[in-house]
Structure 1
């Protein structure tokens, strides 16, 4: 039995007699039949027509004596020249498209097609996995996007989603796994209901908590989410004592400080995601206002993830030009205000729930910056120890992240009013943390 694909039809097209001869047990794929109709090729079972008689087994003339053609070999009718007819053109292996449609396989050619080594994206060979496991706690919208972006990076052996809702994390993990061939990654994705079942992790991203509803501020969430985040931070440190915690749950600044105290990990290994998100929002909005690509906008959002967010305009650039020279002061002020309130704007539009695409992508970006030692300067919520005149406490600052978390707090030459605003943000965060600590002790 021989399988005839599109390539066999193309070969027949080149002959002066538009016929393709196949054996009684041979298979012609649907694509080959369709191509034959398009090219006007006649498919004959047996041998070429000669005077309308009954088809006979195909032969090839070699010299003066006819030689039977082996049953598995295809035969084409060729114009004779000096009593010689050219032997048929070999057609193996048949078109690989056949096997993608589950058609019968010729054992002689199937191994060559079915047992090819799995290919990996050329930019990311399978042997370059630099991180063993990342655990994302909370399989809601933010956790789902975080897990997806981490898996797509293809530098992590396994991404594990954790959620107490039975089947939620496992279902999302399976759905992500189904996309591996589409998106070109081979990261393992798993879902469990308990953090202890996730295994030891290099990084643990905590997204679990109650989301904001319309009319709610981040501060409104403080007590309910403190109970969730504190317990998860302790569990994560118990399972993975050398892990880095990345906090995404709101109110971000207070939850990061609370997670650090609950986990008992070094402050360098407990970091909050806020500055990356707020910086991205400002870049996107400025890009719209200036009709520029967001990648051409340089800016960092410091301070708190809320009312005390600070964007140092002395450091902001649009395609290399100071933003204050690109836009009127009123327009710049409006952009800063809109970026500061972007989370609430999204909540108001959604009516239920909060932003998740940009927060999830921001969390993944921070993990990847640590995993790859990117050495880029990004804004993160970290514990200051004298930098920018802040003696202690968590606040959003320019940083460089490394495999072990915070590698360096980068001190930029801020204007006096910008520096004062960052210090004010740190003081306000400390005040809210003190209130949270008293409430926690009282409960």
Structure 2
């Protein structure tokens, strides 16, 4: 099986590539691509780690070579944002990046699972879907927005709040991956009950965690390491599903199975063809229902913006793209 990481020279890309090199099963292939000319050297660097995962870095015009034969394509390419920069400010530049990378993927490895980390995820996944649809190869079960960072933050913060060992708490996070569209389902944390105030405080902490990291790094970085760990967890789940392991369940942002919006994140079963069954997230409290209803206009607007970038490109022709910023995840 072959995994390709696009945007492999960035902070997230290098870290997730390291985790994949160290943790993928023996016999896997790992391809790294980035426009940065250092990328082949990153591949050489990783190749010195003693695991039976073959790794090679590509740059420049070699994107088709990196994608050839890929089963899973992980996209973390694009620009990032700095303090005070809204995710919508990233949109035009990163939408162009996703459009071009997905178009090449559609031609070279149309049956791959595409896992999108690049922000704003709520809009980037619809961009990818419309590009794949135009190419005639769109399979909703193989296109994922990676929202796992919200999940691991929720699980970490809740475990700490409950004084439980790290890794022992599971929390589903539904909706999307921006601000109020991130909705941890606190009422479904097994065996525990939170007051409305406790649940609200934990939800705010999870929603604001990206800002917390950027502020702690004094504006000089974002959540690259936690995002890489989250990315690895989700990629590993996709791989386990492709290898026909049973009962692989994680949350992801996909099209299909939601009554709320075209794309929506909630738990799903992963299998040999990507995800194959979206699972219910369970009954919500009144406060959670209110939060869900409040987020939907924003989520739907962000989805529509991604769709329009491909279907109505004239709407974006006069909007300058911003480059060179550093994003908070």
Q: Helix, strand or coil for the counterpart of 1:271?
A: strand
Which has the higher relative contact order, 1 or 2, with Cα contacts under 8 A spaced 6 or more apart?
A: 2
Distance 1:422 1:380 in 2: 17
* Aligned residue number for residue 162 of structure 1: 33
Q: Is the 8 A contact 2:141 2:276 kept in 1?
A: yes
For the pair 1:189 / 2:55, whether they are aligned, the reply is: yes
* Cα displacement string for residues 254-303 of structure 1 (whole angstroms, at most 9, x for unaligned residues): 101111111232111111101x2111101112222232212222211111
CA deviations over 1:118-152 (Å, ceiling 9, x no partner): xxxxxxxxxxxxxx210000021111122122222
CA distance in 2 between partners of 1:216 and 1:435 (Å): 18
Structure 1 residues 272 and 431 mapped into 2: Cα distance closer, same or farther (>3 Å)?
same
| Structure 2 residue 114 is matched with structure 1 residue 248 | no
Aligned to 2:189: 316
CA contact (8 A) 1:398 1:409 kept: yes
Say which SS state the counterpart of residue 415 (structure 1) adopts.
Answer: coil
Aligned residue in 1 for 2:256: 384
- Shift of residue 400, structure 1, vs aligned partner: 1.3
Deviates more, 1:148-157 or 1:232-241: 148-157
1:153 equivalent to 2:36? Answer: no
Q: CA deviation at 1:205?
A: 0.5
Structure 1 residues 341 and 272, CA, compared in 2 at 3 Å: closer, same or farther? same
Distance 1:212 1:323 in 2: 36
CA contact (8 A) 1:394 1:426 kept: no
Gaps of 5+ in 1: 1-131
Does the 8 A contact of 2:213 with 2:223 survive in 1?
yes
The equivalent of 1:361 in structure 2 is 229
Q: Specify the SS of the correspondent of 1:294.
A: coil
- Contact 1:370/1:404, CA 8 A, preserved across alignment: no
Among 272, 282, 300, which residue is 2:172 paired with?
A: 300
CA change 1:423–1:173 in 2 (3 A) is farther
More helix by percentage: 2
- Deviation of 1:420 after TM superposition, in Å, equals 5.5
Contact preservation (8 Å) 1:212, 1:347:
no
Distance 2:248 2:296 in 1: 23
1:394 and 2:267 are equivalent in the alignment: no
SS of 1:201's partner is coil
User: For 2:167, what is the secondary structure of its paired residue?
Assistant: helix
Is the 8 Å Cα contact of residues 246 and 270 (structure 1) preserved in structure 2?
yes
TM-score relative to the length of structure 1: 0.63
Provide the residue aligned with 2:107 in structure 1.
238
Secondary structure of the residue aligned to 1:160 is strand
Q: Distance in 2 between matches of 1:201 and 1:439?
A: 26
Equivalent-residue separation in structure 1 for 2:187 and 2:80 (angstroms): 34
Distance, in Å, in 1 between the alignment partners of 2:273 and 2:225 is: 26
Distance, in Å, in 2 between the alignment partners of 1:333 and 1:381 is 23
Segments ≥4 residues shifted beyond 6 Å: none
Aligned to 1:273: 146
1:58-73 → structure 2 map (5 Å cutoff): none
1:237, CA displacement in angstroms?
Answer: 1.4
SS at match of 1:322: coil
* Secondary structure of the corresponding residue to residue 248 of structure 2: coil
Number of residue-to-residue matches in the alignment? 297
Using a 3 Å threshold, how does the CA distance of structure 1 residues 332 and 413 change in structure 2: closer, same or farther? closer
* Equivalent-residue separation in structure 2 for 1:225 and 1:244 (angstroms): 20
Contact 2:125 2:306 in 1 (8 A): no
After TM superposition, give the deviation of residue 217 of structure 1 in Å: 2.1
Task: State the 1:195 CA deviation.
Answer: 1.7
Unaligned runs of 5+ in 2: 318-329
Counterparts of 2:16 and 2:226, CA distance in 1: 9
CA contact (8 A) 2:20 2:232 kept: yes
Who is 2:92 aligned against?
A: 223
